[in-house]
Structure 1
Amino acid sequence: MAQSKNTVRSSAKTLRILEAIHELGGVGVTELARYLDMSKATVHHHLSTLEQNEYVVNDGSTYRTGLKLLEMGERARQQSGLFEIAKHDVDELAAQTGELANLMMEEHGKGVYVHIASGEQAIRLDTRVGTRQYLHTSALGKAILAHMPEQRFEEVIDRHGLPAQTPNTVTEKAMLEKELDEIRKRGVAFDGEERAEGIRCVAAPITDNENQLVGAVSVSAPSARMKHDRFRNTIPEMVRDTATVIGINVSYS
């Protein structure tokens, strides 16, 4: 995907600093300057602007992201519309399977977790609401890629490539395209420990009554509990049914 040339360098630096603070989970000026390969003076000036506008908080010598971003993120989630429509059904899917149920949307060529619900046996993963990930690395993402217009698919791959997350990640475009064809035929995507070792995932795309892609829903669980008929039939049927219900509700909301 072509990047716009009409960007403001100072704004780009500010955003890089904000993202770095988020990634590092709280950091001092010296460490942040080293991490970003910027001068301490530059970093300090941008931090002062961010603090003044309440996007970061200064705890003595450490800066962390402010709760203002939480308010903005929640507003963005509400504006998408899908969260409010799908939340109940995703919660039900988690309760029925006892596992982790996830709702994802695509934005800027990556998958974003919009809602995560935990069943009684659900394990904890490194994903949380707002986590962004490469689409080709998970069943959720592949379900989305499989139902994208071809041009959009090409844009996403050109922009982000196919980096590996585990030894099982599909990193060859031809192999990915073959798998996406299979996903379109069966209506469900599988993740064979491609993003996190020891974890399997089953996902289905959410489409409206005009077959427009809206997002994807999935169930994730340890590989030990995702075997045989449960992995290939029982869970996929439940996930497909949930995706269908959400799609209908999206169409007539």
Structure 2
Amino acid sequence: MASDSRHRPVETVETAFDIVDVVKDADGAGITQIAAELELAKSTVHRHVKTLESRGLLVQEGDTYRISTWFLDYGIHVRNRHRLYDVARPKVDELAAETDEKVWCVIEEHGVGVHIYGAQGRHSVKTHARIGQRTHLHQFAAGKAILAHLPDERIEEILDDYGLSAQTDRTITDGDELRDHLETIRERGYAFNREESVIGVHAVGAPIRNESGTAIGAISVAGPANRLRGDLMIEELPDLLLGATNEVEVNLAHS
């Protein structure tokens, strides 16, 4: 029987994107470094890199190759065409001004959380989070809020695909514990992150849901653990977030 090639990966395309990932993660890399990390022949890497450079995806600085601004155009295009970006952005800005903390809007794509917009309050702290960052959903408040409001079969697919890796020693890495945690989130309507993604940082996240109740995104507020605690953490911020996400949901439904 002939094999079905419809879902078979194209190795040259995979190699090209593996090279792009190495260059991005290293903030620039040469042929030797790329070849070593991917366990490929230098000649193979050289051909791919030169092709990527000729198409404008990489730029050369001496012996080092870096990601080009070609990706910036595509990234901005993707973000700007997402309905949630335009509708949620004003509420994210409003929450940042009201709470003085860092506020993020996150979507789920291919089973991970993607930060599509963020706003800084006067006292917001800097963390590793950035626009475009892709993070495992179980590791942060907005991600858990999304995960809890997906169909059960989709949750299991995501857990099977990505597992439960730890970002800190407080990240939930047990499947049964996470499922119980997601049930609690569904019951109260929002999620907490107590140093599960960054030590010293707490966050609250609430889902943005479509008319069927499935999460299409989430908004979170994050700040220092010694500031986001007590009534602010467990009552005031959840109330603010639930009001904001409800407004976004209504605007989405009528836009």
Show the counterpart of 2:143.
141
| Alignment counterpart, residue 181 of structure 1, candidates 177, 180, 183 | 183
**1:41-120 correspondence to structure 2 within 5 Å:** 41-120=43-122
Greater shift, 28-37 or 178-187, is seen at: 28-37
SS of equivalent residue, structure 1 residue 58: strand
Show the counterpart of 2:163.
161
Provide Cα deviations, 1:93-146, integer angstroms capped at 9, x if missing partner.
111000000000011110000001000000111111000000000111100110
SS of equivalent residue, structure 2 residue 18: helix
Show the counterpart of 1:24.
26
SS of equivalent residue, structure 1 residue 116: strand
Show the counterpart of 1:233.
235
Taking the aligned partners of 1:6 and 1:113, their CA distance within structure 2 comes to 30
Q: Residue 21 of structure 1 contacts residue 65 of structure 1 at CA under 8 Å; is this kept in 2? A: yes
TM-score in terms of structure 2 length: 0.96
Taking the aligned partners of 2:34 and 2:94, their CA distance within structure 1 comes to 43
Q: Residue 151 of structure 2 contacts residue 214 of structure 2 at CA under 8 Å; is this kept in 1? A: no
Q: Letter of the 2:190 partner, please give it.
A: V
Taking the aligned partners of 2:11 and 2:109, their CA distance within structure 1 comes to 23
Provide Cα deviations, 1:215-234, integer angstroms capped at 9, x if missing partner.
00000001011110001011
How well do the aligned residues superpose, as a CA RMSD in angstroms?
1.0
Taking the aligned partners of 2:80 and 2:188, their CA distance within structure 1 comes to 31
Taking the aligned partners of 2:101 and 2:89, their CA distance within structure 1 comes to 15
Show the counterpart of 2:193.
191
Show the counterpart of 1:220.
222
Q: Residue 209 of structure 1 contacts residue 248 of structure 1 at CA under 8 Å; is this kept in 2? A: no
Taking the aligned partners of 2:41 and 2:91, their CA distance within structure 1 comes to 49
Q: Residue 143 of structure 1 contacts residue 203 of structure 1 at CA under 8 Å; is this kept in 2? A: yes
TM-score in terms of structure 1 length: 0.97
- Percent of residue pairs bearing the same amino acid type: 36
Show the counterpart of 2:3.
none
Q: Residue 208 of structure 1 contacts residue 248 of structure 1 at CA under 8 Å; is this kept in 2? A: no
Misfit runs of 4+, over 6 Å: none
Taking the aligned partners of 1:183 and 1:119, their CA distance within structure 2 comes to 26
Aligned residue-pair number: 250
Taking the aligned partners of 1:180 and 1:78, their CA distance within structure 2 comes to 30
Structure 1 residue runs without a partner (length 5+): none
Provide Cα deviations, 1:32-88, integer angstroms capped at 9, x if missing partner.
211222111111111111111111111121111010100001111122211111111
Quote the offset at 1:5 in angstroms. Answer: 4.2
SS of equivalent residue, structure 1 residue 206: strand
Provide Cα deviations, 1:14-45, integer angstroms capped at 9, x if missing partner.
00001111111111111121122211111111
